[in-house]
Structure 1
Amino acid sequence: MELKLRDKLVLVTGSTAGIGKATAISFLNEGARVIINGRSKENVESVVNELSSMGTVYGIHADVSVKEESDRLIEEINKIGDLDVLVNNTGVFTVKPFTEVTDEEWLDYYQINVMSAVRLSRAFLPKMMERNSGRIINLASEAGIKPYPELVPYGVSKTALITLSRGLAEVAKGTNVTVNSILPGPTWTEGFGQFISDMAKENGQELDAFISDYFKNDQPTSLIQRYATVEEVADTIVFIASDKASAINGTAQRVEGGIIQSIL
Structure 2
Amino acid sequence: MEIDSTGRKAVVTGSTAGIGRAIAEGLARAGASVVINGRREDRVAATLRELHALFPKGEFVGVVADLATPEGAAELFARVPDADILVNNVGTGRPKPFFDIADKEWIDLFELNVMSGVRASRHYASGMAKRGWGRVVFISSESALAIPKDMIDYAMTKTAQLAIARGLAEEVGGTGVTVNSVLPGPTNSEIMSGWMKAAAEAQGITQEEAKQQFLKTLRPTTLLNRFTTTEEVANLVVYVCSEQASGTTGTSLRVDGGVVRTIA
Give your verdict on TM over 0.5: yes
Q: Distance in 2 between matches of 1:17 and 1:100?
A: 29
Question: Could you say if the C-alpha distance between residues 207 and 49 of structure 1 is closer, same or farther in structure 2, counting changes exceeding 3 Å?
Answer: closer
Residue equivalent to 1:244: 244
Residue equivalent to 1:221: 221
Q: Distance in 2 between matches of 1:116 and 1:191?
A: 19
Residue equivalent to 1:149: 149
Residue equivalent to 2:62: 59
Residue 203 of structure 1 and its aligned partner are, at CA, apart by 1.9
Residue 191 of structure 1 and its aligned partner are, at CA, apart by 4.2
Q: Does 1:120 align with 2:101?
A: no
- Deviation string 1:205-231 (CA, Å, 9 cap, x unpaired) is 344333333323322111111101000
- Deviation string 1:27-48 (CA, Å, 9 cap, x unpaired) is 1111110000001112111111
Q: Distance in 1 between matches of 2:201 and 2:101?
A: 29
Residue equivalent to 2:158: 158
List alignment gaps of at least 5 residues for structure 1.
Answer: none
TM-score, length-normalised on structure 2?
A: 0.95
Number of residue pairs the alignment of both structures matches: 261
Residue 122 of structure 1 and its aligned partner are, at CA, apart by 0.6
Residue equivalent to 2:40: 40
Q: Does 1:24 align with 2:24?
A: yes
- Deviation string 1:80-121 (CA, Å, 9 cap, x unpaired) is xx4110000000102111111111111101110000000011
Question: Could you say if the C-alpha distance between residues 38 and 207 of structure 1 is closer, same or farther in structure 2, counting changes exceeding 3 Å?
Answer: closer
- Deviation string 1:163-198 (CA, Å, 9 cap, x unpaired) is 000000000111210000110110012342243134
SS at match of 1:83: coil
Amino acid at match of 2:126: P
TM-score, length-normalised on structure 1?
A: 0.95
**For 1:89-100, what aligned pairs fall within 5 Å after superposition?**
89-100=89-100
Deviating runs (4+, > 3 A) in structure 1? Answer: 206-210
Q: Distance in 1 between matches of 2:93 and 2:199?
A: 18
SS at match of 1:73: helix
Q: Does 1:77 align with 2:47?
A: no
Residue 56 of structure 1 and its aligned partner are, at CA, apart by 1.1
Q: Distance in 2 between matches of 1:200 and 1:263?
A: 34
Residue equivalent to 2:192: 192
Question: Could you say if the C-alpha distance between residues 213 and 97 of structure 1 is closer, same or farther in structure 2, counting changes exceeding 3 Å?
Answer: closer
Q: Distance in 1 between matches of 2:157 and 2:191?
A: 21
Residue equivalent to 2:212: 212
List alignment gaps of at least 5 residues for structure 2.
Answer: none
Residue 263 of structure 1 and its aligned partner are, at CA, apart by 0.3
- Deviation string 1:131-158 (CA, Å, 9 cap, x unpaired) is 1100000011111111011101100010
The two structures, once aligned, show a CA RMSD in angstroms of 1.3
Q: Does 1:129 align with 2:129?
A: yes
Q: Distance in 1 between matches of 2:187 and 2:2?
A: 27
Question: Could you say if the C-alpha distance between residues 155 and 261 of structure 1 is closer, same or farther in structure 2, counting changes exceeding 3 Å?
Answer: same
Amino acid at match of 2:74: D
Q: Distance in 2 between matches of 1:92 and 1:191?
A: 8
Q: Identity of paired residues, percent?
A: 39
**For 1:95-114, what aligned pairs fall within 5 Å after superposition?**
95-114=95-114
Q: Does 1:174 align with 2:174?
A: yes
Q: Distance in 1 between matches of 2:71 and 2:198?
A: 38
